[in-house]
Structure 1
Amino acid sequence: MHDRRRRARFSAMLALLVWTGASCADDESGASPETLAKLDAVMTRKITGETPGCAVGILGEGVEVMRAYGQADLERGVANTVDSVFNVGSVAKQVTAAAVLTLAADGKLALDDHARKYLPELPMTAQPITIDDLLSHTSGLRDFRATDWMLGRDALPQNNRDVLAYAARQRDLNHAPGASFLYTNTGYVLLALIVERVSGRGFADFTRERLFAPAGMTRTQWEDDVRDVVAGRSIGYTQVEWPQDGTPARFQQWPTARHTTGHGGLLTTVGDMQRWNAALSNATFGSDLAEQMNRPARLRSGVVLEYARGVFVGRHRGFREIQHSGYTGTYTAWVGRYPEAGLSVSVLCNGDGDEVDPREIVDLFLPTPSVPASAPASEASAEHVPTADRRDLSAFSGVYRDPADGRLSLWDFPKDAQMRDDAYAMGSERFEFDPAQPGRVVREQYGNRSTWVRLPVWQPSAEALAEFAGRFASAELLAGYEVTFDGRQLSIGVLGLSESVVPLQPRAPDVFERTGLLIAFKRDAGGRVSGLALAPNQLHEIAFARTATR
């Protein structure tokens, strides 16, 4: 009962503070001047009165703080406030998940329903994609944001119906549904469409009536038309030059005409995100919804993921952590809850150069005990520090192919790699190395083990490079590339976009790199170049057929 009363205060934010550089009285926030000074130090490491900034909200045991830093509009000199409106990027996914779970609680759909039941436009797959696969990023669908970036159209007009058409054209999945975890924005746009078709309401109307209004989120809306004027909007910026020798940092706006929602596109304030956390903690949306949202997903193999439904779940300093971050190219956001500690933290920023680590803020307000008695032994033990064994793995760097399915990957292993149990971990991936076989690497992810073979380094002649020049088109992506050769350098660009042209660097026979993206050229039975394939690391290739030579 004490925890419930404590969490109920999430919806009553008493201290609406705008940072002015002055310390705040203890009775205004419940935090000591020393703690507030440390908070300001974290937030002003890179943020000044001449840079974009953030709004921060903290609610914990006896602590209620909201502060704002930096500028909302650099051209007009308008400062951020605690009422500034930010785009929170992928933080929005938990709202979409909550909308789906609301319909499930209403008996309107089931999480194990096939997605094609509601979206028959989707292609038939050998194993059906379920709604829960979409919620947990285990569908195998390509990410439209990733391919838009590859094709230089990330900022072009696009709506949710366009994303459905994109998914309907997909020829292959990156993996069988439920076989692996692969974060994809496509799935959450499809979920927003499912909410509309099942409820008979617009997605914005449904979430406003069933979620935002009950939570008291009066400043929250979906950006389904980027041309709309939004009162109090903080403008998003990307940092293009860092300060050096007395020269200040330089920022640019990165406008987009994208109207997609569900995966992102949520406009809100730090106060409303704290109210959202409060609503989840107080069971405002029903007694079971938050528990359903926070339940870790499970692959068909039985492997349990750190992703649940719209949120990541784990532990930080022994406490259960439920969080999600967001990034739009300009805006960044992080919203987290620590139910065992009664702590909620929201950090919304209108730039990407602030270097704010949200967990530094969390650590200022999280209680001292490192492992609560309620923590399962498996979760408590998972936080032990890895052994200090370090190895030089740089000799293993290169382009690798999985012989089982032909996938390619470019791995750059560090010289000073921290090993654990004779393996090196990068995120969810675990690599094993045998010095006697430097051309092979064993990769394990989500319980799946595969042996990858390194391809030989390749230094083609000018005559060999000239073979690759031509135009290539993809019916799946409705786009094309042009590959050119000027006698010395092979380059690639999206057809019709001159500013997209970038050099190609040879990495292995017929395999090139374009700023982190592998491009593999294909040959016909006669040995002639017949096509190319975009080969994002470890994902299924996207084919382009050769249409003409230059």
Structure 2
Amino acid sequence: MATLQDELNALLSKHYTADTPGAVILVAKGERILYQHSAGVASKATGAAIIPQTNFRLASVSKQFTAMGVQLLAAEGLLRLQDELSLYFPELEHLGRVQLWHLLNHTSGLPDFEDYIPADQTAQLTDVDVLTLTAAQRHLLYSPGSRFQYSNTAFVLLGLLIERVKGVPYGDFLREYLLRPLQMNDSLLYQTDADIPHRAMGYAKTAAGKFILSDQSIGSATRGDGCMYTSAVDFLKWHQALNSNTLFNINNTLKNNLTSVDAEAGWYYGMGWFYEQLPKDDYLLLHSGDTCGFTNLVMRYPKQDVLVVCFSNIANNQNFLQELLQVLKGFPELMPSSQLAWQLPQLTR
């Protein structure tokens, strides 16, 4: 019978060679790494191979770090999740009584900034640009808290909120309050001149099957919604802190601030995580991340203390993730099956 290692090695070998962009996969249970391997190159220009220390742009997997920043500020008594957004952004007061937890759960009704980017925009959008675009809108899309609708706008504003409350740049806050305490020493928030160690460049595949550089886009520099860079090695440290570090444990905050995505299916969202209720009082936390040059998936089974990480520096690489999930289904003793994971690309766009 094929082992987990055999199956995942075969999957990586099937899709990537020594000169194509590729992926890294990590599976851990408790303190034990059950699988950690990679294939492909981090940069076609340099030929540097992807390794477990390679830093990938997380895209929407970044949202959990933004949510944790807000939780830390709440723990300091500097804000409450029930506070209205206009308390910190008076320029948004005309949009109605949106509370912070609505932003964290994608129920704010805030307009999608992507729909209002000027047609002649050539420079990358900043977080302040997103605030300006949002403030120019006259009304919300729906009443806050009335339904789930995935929103990058909300998490961009949460990153700005952290800056306004703490009075320091968001990247500095993350480094001082999250990354340094957890010894995630190679992780950082993207900025144009950032020196990113072990950096993976992003690529897209053309119809002819050629990989072209696709690392940046007009909307890829906004921070709170998708600008974290980290590695499989550093993400394991993050997972372990979420399970065991009192300061970073999100379980209580998460369960008290969940919103329904599909109540019948047992799918919810909160604090930068999709949450799936499983049989026998079990549950799964997961999130995907897709941007111009990257496709990512993280899955956590807190009761089993199991983590699955897959980071890829190829855009629109969901087919690879689907095959990965198919492999994982063959090991139910390690990871209970999930229906939500198959739906994530549809839910996050």
Task: Classify the TM-score, shorter chain.
Answer: 0.7 to 0.9
The 1:151–1:290 alpha-carbon spacing in structure 2 relative to 1, beyond 3 Å, is farther
Q: What do residues 428-469 of structure 1 show as CA deviations (whole Å, max 9, x unaligned)?
A: 8xxxxxxxxxxxxxxxxxxxxxxxxxxxxxxxxxxxxxxxxx
**What secondary structure, in the 3-state scheme, does the structure 1 residue paired with 2:206 have?**
strand
Which residue type is aligned with residue 147 of structure 2? Answer: S
| Aligned equivalent of 1:177 | 144
Which residue of 131, 135, 142 maps to 1:168? 135
Match of 1:395 in 2: none
The Cα of 1:194 is off from its aligned counterpart by 1.0
How far off its partner does 1:314 sit?
A: 0.2
Q: Say if 2:15 is the partner of 1:46.
A: yes
Structure 2 residue matching 1:58: 3-state secondary structure: strand
Letter in 2 for 1:228: A
Partners of 1:67 and 1:369 in 2: how far apart? 19
Summarize the Cα distance change of 1:218–1:146 in structure 2 as closer, same or farther, 3 Å threshold: farther
Cα drift, residue 329 of structure 1: 1.7
Instruction: State the shift of 1:83 in Å.
Output: 1.2
Whether contact under 8 Å (2:155, 2:225) holds in the other structure is: yes
User: How many angstroms does 1:345 deviate by?
Assistant: 1.1
Instruction: State which of 207, 212, 215 in structure 2 corresponds to 1:252.
Output: 212
Q: For residues 255 and 113 of structure 2, what CA distance do their matches in structure 1 show?
A: 26
Residue 241 of structure 1 contacts residue 251 of structure 1 at CA under 8 Å; is this kept in 2? no
Which of 266, 291, 294 is the matching residue for 2:228?
266
- Offset, 1:176: 1.2
- Return the offset for 1:124: 1.2
- Counterpart amino acid of residue 297 in structure 1: L
Other-structure match for 1:9: none
Q: Deviations over 1:291-321 (max 9, x none)?
A: 213545237xx99861112000004687411
Amino acid at match of 2:41: Q
Q: Equivalent of 2:283, from 315, 320, 324? A: 320
Match of 2:304 among 341, 355, 361: 341
- Structure 1 residues 198 and 368 mapped into 2: Cα distance closer, same or farther (>3 Å)? closer
Farther off after superposition, 302-311 or 190-199: 302-311
Separation in 2 of the partners of 1:208 and 1:35?
Answer: 35
1:190 and 1:113 map into 2 onto residues whose CA distance is: 14
Q: Is the Cα–Cα contact under 8 Å of residues 343 and 366 in structure 1 kept in the other structure? A: no
- CA-to-aligned-CA distance 1:26-79 (integer Å, 9 cap, x gap): xxxxxx973211011222332222321111111116543321111112233322
> How far 1:105 sits from its partner (Å)?
1.1
Q: 1:50 to 1:313 in 2, by over 3 A?
A: same
Matched length: 333
Tell me the amino acid that sits aligned with residue 93 of structure 1.
K
State whether structure 2 residue 154 is matched by structure 1 residue 187.
yes
Is 1:145 aligned to residue 114 of structure 2?
A: yes
Q: Which runs of 5+ in 2 are unaligned?
A: 340-344
Question: What does residue 205 of structure 1 align with?
Answer: 172
Alignment partners' CA distance in 2, 1:220 and 1:369: 27
**Residue 106 (structure 1) shift:** 1.0
Are the counterparts in 2 of residues 337 and 345 from structure 1 also a CA contact under 8 Å? yes
Larger proportion of strand? 1
- Residue pairs, 1:428-507, within 5 angstroms: none
Q: Structure 2: how far apart are the matches of 1:226 and 1:281?
A: 33
Q: Which residue of structure 2 lines up, in the alignment, with residue 308 of structure 1? A: 270
Alignment TM-score, normalising by the size of structure 2: 0.86
Partners in 1 of 2:212 and 2:302 — Cα distance? 38
1:91 shift after superposition: 0.3
- Residues 87 and 265 in structure 1, CA contact (< 8 A), matched pair in contact too: yes
User: 2:314 is matched with which residue: 331, 336, 351?
Assistant: 351
CA-CA distance at 1:350 after TM superposition: 0.3
Q: Equivalents in 1 of 2:19, 2:346: separation in Å?
A: 35
1:222-301 mapped onto 2 (5 Å cutoff): 222-223=189-190, 225-242=191-208, 249-254=209-214, 255-256=216-217, 258-286=220-248, 289-295=250-256, 297-298=258-259
Partner of 1:121: 91
- The alignment's C-alpha RMSD in Å is 2.9
Report the secondary structure of 1:45's partner residue: helix
The whole-number CA distance in structure 2 between the counterparts of 1:123 and 1:361 is 49
1:230 positional shift: 2.0
1:198-247 per-residue CA deviation (whole Å, 9 max, x = no partner) reads 12222112221221122221111000x224332311110011125xxxxx
> What do residues 336-387 of structure 1 show as CA deviations (whole Å, max 9, x unaligned)?
110122201111110036532243354355526959xxxxxxxxxx97xxxx
Are the equivalent residues in 2 in contact too, given 1:214–1:284 (CA < 8 A)? no
Q: Which amino acid aligns with 2:197?
A: A
Does the C-alpha gap of structure 1 residues 294 and 71 become closer, same or farther in structure 2, counting only changes over 3 Å?
farther
Q: 1:116 to 1:353 in 2, by over 3 A?
A: closer
Cα deviation 1:237-261 (Å, max 9, x = unaligned): 011125xxxxxx2011123365320
Partner of 1:64: 34
Q: What is the aligned partner in structure 2 of residue 363 from structure 1?
A: 329
Match of 1:88 in 2: 58
- Give distance in 2, aligned partners of 1:267 and 1:97: 16
Q: Distance in 1 between matches of 2:14 and 2:279?
A: 24
The one-letter code of the counterpart of 1:345 is V
Q: 1:295 to 1:325 in 2, by over 3 A?
A: farther
Secondary structure of the equivalent of 1:321? strand
Structure label with greater radius of gyration: 1
Inter-CA distance 36–369: structure 2 relative to 1 (3 Å threshold):
closer
Aligned equivalents of 1:306, 1:139: Cα separation in 2? 15
One-letter code aligned to 2:19? E
Equivalent residue in structure 1 for 2:3, among 27, 31, 34:
34
Aligned to 2:47: 77
2:72 corresponding residue in structure 1: 102
Amino acid at match of 1:280: L
